[in-house]
Chain A
Amino acid sequence: MRLDAILRIVTKMLIPFMLIFALYVHFHGDFSPGGGFQAGVVIAAAVVFHALVFGLYPTQKIVPPRLVTLMMPAGVIIYAGVGFLTLYLGENFLDYDVLSHNHHPEKPNYHAQERGVLWVEVGVLTTVAGTMISIFYAFAGRGKGEDKTK
C-alpha cells in the first residue's frame, strides 16, 4: 500500500484551485496586483507540483512536452499579433484604442484598452508558462532515470 495517499489526494484537490487562482491573477490584473507573468508562473507551478507528486511521466501525458515547447513562441506571436492587428486597423503598433467598434481618435477608449491589455497579457502568460514548464521538463528529464523512457 502506498503511504503517500494524503499527499496525492491533497494535491489533486489543490491543483484546480491553483489554476483558478492563476486565471484570477490574470483576468483581475487590471484591478489588483498581478498579470500575465505572475499567472503564467502560477500555472507552471501547478504543473510542476503535479510532476513532483505523481512523477514526470504521468504529468507529461497530461501536458505533453511538444505542447509546452509550442507555447513558447505562440505567446510571442499572440503579443506581436495584437500589435500587427492594431497596425492593420489603421493605428500605431500596439495602440489598443482601435480594438473596439466605438473607436474615436480623440476620445479615450476604455473597452478597447482593456481588451488590448488582456490579449497582450495572454501572450505573456503563454510564453512564461511554456518556458517555465519546458525548463522544468528539461531538468527533470535528464539524470539518472532517463533510460527508462526509451
Chain B
Amino acid sequence: MSEALINTVLLSLLACITIGIVRTRNLFGVVVLSGIYSLLIASVMMVLDAVDVAMTEASVGAGMSTVLLLGTLYLTKGHEMKAFKPPLLPLFVAIGVGAMLVYGTIDLPPFGAADQPVNQHVGPDYLARSKPETGIPNVVTSVLASYRGFDTLGETTVVFTAGIGILMLLRRRRKKDDTLREGEK
C-alpha cells in the first residue's frame, strides 16, 4: 500500500517536472529541473529495490550530467529560442507513440509476477548459484564482474571509446585556434 503511494507521488512529480522542462524557456532552469528528474528516477529505482542502478543514476544523472550541462550552458546562450511555428507534427508523433506504449503495457504481466519467463529463466539460477560458487553476497556484483565479466570488459571499452570520441570532437578546435594564432604572429 505505502509502496503504491510512494510510486504515485514520485511518478506524478516526474510528470510535473517533465511538463516544467518542456515549458521553461530559461535553460538554467531546465538543467536544474533535469537534475531533479534524475534524482526522482533514482528514488523510483530505490522503490524497485534496484539500489545499484539508483546509485548510478543519482551520481551520473543528477551529478555529472548536471555539471556538464551547466558547462555547456556557459558556452551557449541561456535562453531557448521561440519556435517559428507551433510544433503540431512532433506533438502528434509524441502522442501517437505514447498511446501505443501505454496500449503495449496493458498486456504486460503484473510487476514482479513469479510465474513469468523473465523471473524463471536465468535470474533464479544466478541467485541460487552466486553465493556457493563465488562467495560474493551482492549478486549484482558477481553477475556483473564474474559471470558476465566479458560483457563488462566490453562496457568499459565502450566508456573509453565514448570518452575518446568526445575528446576528439572538443579538443580539435583548440589545436586549430593555436595554429591560427601562430599564423597571425
Q: Write the residues of chain A forming the contact surface with B, with a CB cutoff of 8 angstroms.
A: 25, 29-35, 37-38, 41-42, 44-45, 48, 52, 69, 72-73, 75-76, 79-80, 83, 93-94, 96, 108, 110, 113-114, 116-117, 120-121, 123-124, 127-128, 130-132, 134-136, 138-144, 146, 150
Contacts and interface: CB of A to CB of B under 8 A. Distances in A.
A29 B177 CA distance: 45
Interface string B46-85: 0000011011100110011001100110110000000000
B71 A136 contact: yes
Mostly, the A contact residues are helix
B181 interface: yes
Contact of B171 (A31, A110, A121, A138): A138
A114 B135 CA distance: 8
B159 interface: yes
Given A41-B63, A140-B71, A142-B170, A117 B136 contact: yes
Contacts of A123: 156
B24 interface: no
Contacts of A79: 152-153, 156
Most chain B beta-carbon contacts within 10 A, residue among A32, A37, A76, A150: A37
Contacts, number: 146
B142 interface: yes
Interface residues of B, number: 49
Contacts of B67: 48, 52, 136
A108 B142 CA distance: 13
Contacts of A128: 156, 159
Contacts of A35: 52, 140-141, 144-145
7 contacts: A34-B55, A38-B55, A76-B157, A96-B149, A110-B135, A110-B136, A139-B71
CB-CB nearest 4 A-B residue pairs: A110-B135, A131-B163, A33-B51, A139-B71
A25 B150 CA distance: 22
Given A72-B160, A76-B153, A150-B181, 9 more contacts: A33-B140, A76-B157, A80-B153, A96-B146, A124-B155, A124-B156, A128-B159, A130-B163, A134-B166
Given A38-B59, A48-B64, A143-B74, A114 B136 contact: yes
